[in-house]
Amino acid sequence: MNTLTHLECSLCRQKFEAGKIHNLCDCGGPLLVRYDLAKSRETWSREKVAAGPHSMWRYAPVLPPTRPESIVSLGEGMTPLVRTPRLGQRLGAGDLWVKDEGLNPTGSFKARGLSCAVSMAVELGIRKVAIPSAGNAASAMAAYAAAAGIEAHIFMPRDVPQSNYIECKAFGAQVTLVDGLISDCAKKVAAGKDTEGWFDVSTLKEPYRIEGKKTMGYEVAEQLGWELPDAIFYPTGGGVGIIGMWKAFEEMQAMGWIGSKRPKMIAVQVAGCQPVVRAYEQGAERSQFWENAQTVAAGLRVPKPLGDFLILEAVRQSGGTALAVTDEELLEAGVRLAASEGLFICPEGAACVSALEKLLASGFLKRGERIVIYNTGAGLKYLEAYAPLFPR
Ligand SMILES: *Cc1c(COP(=O)(O)O)cnc(C)c1O
Ligand SMILES: [Zn+2]
């Protein structure tokens, strides 16, 4: 089915055997899944992709499950790439697109990562999964665990959006609301996992979510006729999407599907939590814990991303940049997009619209460039965040 060979530490390059249960490397580095891409190049092709299922599993030859029966799918992926000419005209962007990840199961792109992670849990015989989450990862894990018939244990900040809490409960997960941030939730998972026998599905501590998310990179290439855009705006929390897409581009090049050109990868954060932007501006390789993280864009409230060095590498090598916008700016930008294009997007995606306005105004991006914004979730999941703009 695939050409998976092994896993490799992203920091020290130590190799790990496939088919075994892994979290982080001993050195603390996240593990990346490696394939024999020379072999894939001979046995698979862009034409064969087109004949595959209408979901992210059309890329199964570069996804980790080795048996089709392991796959737990709710139809994730192959989200629309929507042209947004009215907004583009207003801002001075002649070739502007939104990849609308809000149409995934559970209303966010977290479905891609968790479909892959839960499929691998099934393949490896794991029966209990646990996750610390700012919201959408929890909803997605609860949904896929329900579909797989395994136990889900969820730790979320008490002020998580209502939609996420209710979804998790409806999916039958064990939910614990924590007074604190995702980092405090992570401590609870770490504390309980040995005694409770949970497998820790935390961002990047689990090696397969990134594989699911990388399909966003394959899809954008396929949808644009195997030509990458000039710039990608990505709302960056843990950064799994950026890291995953960067890996996807490398893999596609190794298979001869694309050339060496890369989009400028633009990491967007929020004023109330911008560890990656700070590190980028300081020329640092790692970020520092952002104290008192606060924002309505729940998915961006990640005070210290584990894969910060991988995010920064992709941003720098691609000639991209990192910038932050305020909550007020992003909500207003989200409403402007909704009113001009009919897309009601999540605050995280809306942060990218605001960041785009800034980078066009500063001249960092030019009118003729092909720009893709990743809208990572549905606006409908965030009614509390948008409600103050529309008092009744
Ligand atoms: C989790 C999340 C993000 C951040 O995703 P990463 O890939 O971890 O950076 C952005 N937007 C939404 C809606 C999310 O749920
Ligand atoms: Zn290592």
Query: Given ligand 1 and candidates 104, 376, 382, which is best to mutate, with the most ligand atoms within 8 Å of its CB?
Result: 376
Residue 1's pLDDT is: 79
Mean pLDDT of 359-368: 96
Q: How high is the pLDDT of residue 290?
A: 97
pTM of the complete model: 0.97
Split at pLDDT 50, 70, 90, the class of 281 is: very high
Cα 307 to Cα 214: distance, rounded to the nearest angstrom: 15
Q: Provide mean pLDDT across the span 227-252.
A: 97
Give the separation between CA 9 and CA 31, rounded to whole angstroms.
Answer: 4
* Angstrom distance (rounded) from CA 43 to CA 48: 9
Q: How far is the CA of 206 from the centre of ligand 2 (A)?
A: 14
Q: Which residues contact 390 (CB under 8 A, 6 or more apart)?
A: none
pLDDT for residue 134: 83
Comparing CA positions, the residue from 200, 199, 201, 208 lying closest to residue 32 is 208
Is 110's C-beta closer than 6 angstroms to any atom of ligand 1? Answer: yes
Confidence bin at 90 (pLDDT 50/70/90): very high
**Ligand 1 centroid to residue 47 C-alpha, Å:** 31
Burial level of 174, CB count in 10 A (0-12/13-18/19+)? middle
Q: Half-sphere exposure (CA, 13 Å, Cβ side) for 325?
A: 30
Decide whether any atom of ligand 1 lies within 6 Å of the 237 Cβ.
yes
Q: How far is the CA of 197 from the centre of ligand 1 (A)?
A: 27
264, 230 in Cβ contact below 8 A? yes
Using left for φ > 0, alpha for ψ between -120 and 50, and beta otherwise, residue 231 falls in beta
Q: What is the mean pLDDT of residues 147-162?
A: 95
Q: Give the integer Cα–Cα distance in Å for 301 and 289.
A: 11
The reported pLDDT for the residue numbered 12 is: 96
Ordered alpha helix ranges (H), 44-127: 46-50, 85-91, 110-123
> Ligand 1, from 112, 210, 348, 382: best to mutate by most atoms within 8 Å of Cβ?
348
Task: Pick the closest to residue 230 from 94, 342, 122 (CA basis).
Answer: 94
81-108+210-389 fold: Rossmann fold (3.40.50)
